[in-house]
Amino acid sequence: MSPQLITPELVGLDVDFGSAPTDVITRLAGMVASAGRTTDAAALADGAIEREAKAPTGVPGRVAIPHVRSSAVATPTLAFARLARPVDFGGPDGDADLVFLIAAPEGGGKEHLKILSTLARALVRGEFVDKLRAAATPNDAVAEIIAVVGGAPEPPKRVYRIAAVTSCPTGIAHTYMAADALVQAAQKRDDVDLRVEPQGSSGYDALEDSFIRDADAVIFAHDVAVRGQGRFAGKPLINAPVKRGIDSPDALIDAAVAAADDPDADVVKASTSAGDDGDAARQSTDSWPKRIQQAVMTGVSYMVPFVAAGGLLLALGFLIGGYDMANGWQAIATQFSPTNLPGNQVNVDGAVMTFERSGWLLYLGAVLFATGQMGMGFVVSALSGYIGYGLAGRPGIAPGFIGGASSVLLGAGFIGGLVTGILAGVIAYWIQSWTVPRWLGSLMPVVIIPLLTSLAIGLLMFLLLGRPLGAIMEGLQGWLESMSGSSAILLGVIIGMMMCFDLGGPVNKAAYLFGTAGLSAGTESSFQIMAAVMISGMVPPIALSIATFLRRSLFTPAEQENGKSAWLLGLSFVSEGAIPFAAADPLRVIPSMMLGGATAGAVSMALGTGVQAPHGGIFVIFAYDPWWGMFAALAAGVAVSAAAVIAAKQIWPNKAIEHAAQTA
């Protein structure tokens, strides 16, 4: 049982403890030491005196309450003195004759603040102060004080250490929104110490090893493989999609606390023979369809930087060297140098070609274009390789890359890359399950598994799958190239609706994958599809932001605040900026956003707008062709969505908002 907060040994009645606050505090600390409640009276007194110097602790009623948190105290303690010679503690109505010293353990949470607030409320009541001044014995004083602040302090509440990791396919929006939601939810609780490692595409600061070692549980809110997962081996695990981290952070934290106390909870498994800490799929208890879906998202996550760098370099090459440079970029980049710049006529494969630009502009444009082409050449291999990684860890990377390269060679494109990545991951995962002699075990992840899996992928692609997949890809490209008029507009409508349906969820990501993976083909139709994807994805946050400015009364105060920044997220092509609105009012918001997205996609396709960058929104305006087509499509989509959501909220009022307005 915890010792009582105050005992007769901690009370001094009608005592002379000196003429200054430092004297009184020192004598009270000595009483605490005499009662066996501190290991160092001097340290306790010094801490309280230092606190007193920052702000006097005198309160109305000629009372003072000096207080301190100190490592010299093991349990919350209250000492009391009724002074024969009052002392100036800076109170508003004169020198204090009643002094309380609150001594709390350094790691005791907010216990001393609870005592302080309870005393402060009691001191407002004159009868409590009168009883203390009239107390005949220390026992009488103790009885009066305990009646107010209670007896034995509550045992300190356990604080659970929770390590969390968030990640999403693009590593941009959901990753950080989930991290912020978890942190904000944890800050409202006094039983949780939560720290998050958002594994974003721009890099991340890993959690400290010491915090992970002492963690009671782990939360993985992710849609792609968690990097360095082996660091958390043995910890109780809560595994959830990243969107749940945004929508239900409190539920995830509750689940983690429960898992910390559950001996049968799922735990993060130690590294396998694959020798890879980041193999989320091997550690997951999810079904195979879910694992494959997560692995595909992992592949997309790692593919996007190749597309982004390659696509933007291609666009810069066109901007600097001119569009006709694409007809001879390879000859210009390899035959010339900074000391031997090309003129406007260049011999390309035995034929002399005339270009619009010459000199540095033509040469630099060709170099940028060539560099971008090299980056784009890895897109399918990266997609395939990292799908394999998502399913089997590092042993799946090499077979996946080889399968992706085979897909390009056989004309199977990104469809072949998807297939080879999944096959590489599944085969490598299966081989890892083999029981082999110990002497062979060390060779499995670096030699045997990549060798056998690559052999299997090569045979499957060249002997069985390559040509059928190539035919499918050729048919798809032919269909896209033949699109014009109503068929192109219909595709734009479908893409726009998909991008605005779940605002970063599986449907949105499927449309995004269709757009980004197609960029590797380098065709006008693929650029137009990417433009429809990006422009329609920009619509929801901008439209909702404008709607909150036009009709504030139709939105909650929280939505009005979100509207102040949502427009910038929209311009950056972060569709997730609309999630708070959709989560609060899905039946009105989502259909309205889909209507605007369909409009933007249709206008973009009708105008033949293309873009060679997979991300960036309005900030990669130089990558759009024509640039004004992007503005026209975006304006049309935003106008339709904003008008639709305002109309929906007016015609079909939100009862919760109406009630809030009536009670405001």
Alpha-carbon Rg for the chain, nearest whole angstrom, is 34
Half-sphere exposure of residue 338, counting CA atoms within 13 Å on the CB side? 0
- The sheet carrying 217-222 orders its strands as 192-198, 160-167, 217-222, 237-240
Q: Say if residue 626 is preceded by a cis peptide, omega within 30 of 0.
A: yes
Residues of the chain with CATH 3.40.50.2300: 160-268
Q: CB atoms < 10 A from the CB of 295, how many? A: 28
Query: What tokens does 239 get?
Result: 């595994």
Across all residues in the chain, what is the average pLDDT?
84
Query: What tokens does 467 get?
Result: 């040509």
Determine the pLDDT at residue 284: 53
Alpha-helical runs (H) found in 215-328: 242-247, 249-260, 280-283, 288-321
Query: What tokens does 380 get?
Result: 């399918």
Query: What tokens does 157 get?
Result: 């509440």
Determine the pLDDT at residue 201: 62
Determine the pLDDT at residue 561: 82
With CA atoms as reference, report the closest residue to 595 among 653, 536, 554, 652. Answer: 536
Question: Residue 636 CA to chain centroid, in angstroms?
Answer: 31
Determine the pLDDT at residue 275: 40
Determine the pLDDT at residue 564: 86
Class at the top of the CATH hierarchy for domain 160-268: alpha beta
With CA atoms as reference, report the closest residue to 504 among 579, 568, 564, 418. Answer: 579
Q: Which residues pair with 346 in a beta bridge?
A: 353
Task: Give the Å distances, CA to CA, from 349 to 327, 331, 352, 353, 506.
Answer: 11, 8, 8, 10, 46
CA angle (214 as vertex; 209, 216 as ends), nearest 5: 125
Determine the pLDDT at residue 454: 95
With CA atoms as reference, report the closest residue to 644 among 583, 600, 579, 580. Answer: 600
Biggest CA-to-CA distance, the chain: 115
Question: How far apart, in whole angstroms, are the C-alpha atoms of residue 569 and residue 236?
Answer: 35
Question: How far apart, in whole angstroms, are the C-alpha atoms of residue 649 and residue 562?
Answer: 17
Name the strand (E) or helix (H) holding 154.
none
pTM: 0.58
Determine the pLDDT at residue 600: 96
Determine the pLDDT at residue 84: 92
Query: What tokens does 628 get?
Result: 């004004």
Q: Could you read off the pLDDT of 199-236 as tens digits, one per residue?
A: 876 567 788 888 998 899 999 998 877 888 888 988 99
Determine the pLDDT at residue 297: 80
Question: How far apart, in whole angstroms, are the C-alpha atoms of residue 448 and residue 409?
Answer: 25
Residues taking part in catalysis: 67, 168
Residues of the chain with CATH 3.40.930.10: 8-150
CA dihedral for 217, 219, 225, 226, sign (positive or negative): negative
For helices 506-518 and 413-432, give the axis angle rounded to 10 degrees: 120
Question: How far apart, in whole angstroms, are the C-alpha atoms of residue 102 and residue 117?
Answer: 11
Domain 8-150 falls in which CATH fold?
Mannitol-specific EII; Chain A (3.40.930)
Q: Kindly give the parts of the chain with pLDDT less than 50.
A: 1, 272-283, 661-664
